[in-house]
Amino acid sequence: MNPKKLKKLKKQVQKHPASRAEPYITRMQRYRNRFAQIPEIQVLVNNVLLADELLTKGRLPQDLPVLELPDNIQDILFQNINARFAPHDPKGDQLWNELSDALPKLDQDLRNFRDYLEDRYGMWAYISAPFAADLAQYIDGKKTLEVMAGNGYISKGLRDHDQLVYATDSKDWTKENETGKHPVTEIERLSALDAWQKYGNEVDVVIMSWSPDGLPVDWELLQAIRRSEHHVDFIVIGEMNGATDSKVFWDNLQLTGTDESLELLNRHHKVFDLIQDHTFLVR
């Protein structure tokens, strides 16, 4: 996709859920009922609803498919209705009008699932249970520090696999959004640099996920890690030169790691919307 078009689409799909009175999950449940006869839509909506149900219970969700309607969804819908109603049946015509009119709204809501997760749970990077299992496999028992942990989804996932993790966050964002308001595990109040100063010599792995766009704290942390004589694996989750981290960070980092390690870390960290975030090993 053309980069300018991609950037435009990202802006279009940001923060639209707040413009509607009906709650997001209520709308998704309505779509599930309305499109009950369309498997291609059911699988997308059910994935959203299952992820929300698990997060509501304090559990990590499962992986997501790409949350966008197939390009031929109107043809699929037309063929489905044609098979169920005789030609020119008013009920079939009415159903076609209702469902085809709902498709743009459904498409927008699917694309806005990340916004819902941010607004409802303070979950910025989508952390699934399978991804947490792969991360635990890579870390393999090494002491780990998570900075900017937010509500702690990564640390929770690792602790569920009996990994020793120091989960830290400055909690500076609690007045602006849901970050830090719904912790799913114990988190120590420390800035990224203070956390590194306290735990840097004790750990072998540092994890930083979705450092705020444009703020140089990520670069400051990377420089502190480089100055240390104690080597650590620095795992970064974000969108390179996109929605996360500062430009100076992306411009000056060195990518490390083997093909096998990066394949493992990204095996269950898949793109499901317009944000192209990945897991990197950095030095």
Give the CA count within 13 Å in the CB-facing half-sphere of 260.
2
* Residues 75 and 149 occupy one common structural domain: no
- Mean local confidence (pLDDT), 55-63: 96
> Of 69, 102, 121, which marks where a domain is finished?
121
**Residue 22 to residues 27, 47, 68, 99, Cα–Cα distance (Å):** 7, 20, 21, 18
* Amino acid found at 227: R
Please say which residue of 100, 121, 142 terminates a domain. 121
Question: 110 exposed, middle or buried (CB, 10 Å; 0-12, 13-18, 19+)?
Answer: buried
Tell me the pLDDT of the chain averaged across its residues: 92
Instruction: Check whether 8 has a pLDDT greater than 60.
Output: no
23: pLDDT confidence band, cut at 50, 70 and 90?
A: very high
Assign residue 215 the CATH number of its domain.
Answer: 3.40.50.150
In the chain, how many domains are there?
Answer: 2
Q: How confident is the model at residue 176 (pLDDT cuts 50, 70, 90)?
A: low
The pTM for the full model equals: 0.88
| pLDDT tens for each residue of 24-41 | 999 999 999 999 999 999
Domain boundary residue, one of 99, 121, 143: 121
Let me know whether 42 and 179 are in one domain.
no
User: Does one domain contain both 150 and 266?
Assistant: yes
Both 44 and 145 in a single domain? Answer: no
**pLDDT of res. 182:** 84
181 and 79 in a common domain = no
- pLDDT at 179 exceeding the cut of 80: no
* 16 pLDDT tier (thresholds 50, 70, 90): very low
Is residue 225 domain-shared with residue 251, that is, in the same domain? yes
Residues 138 and 163 in one domain: yes
Q: Which structural domain, as residue segments, surrounds residue 181? A: 129-282
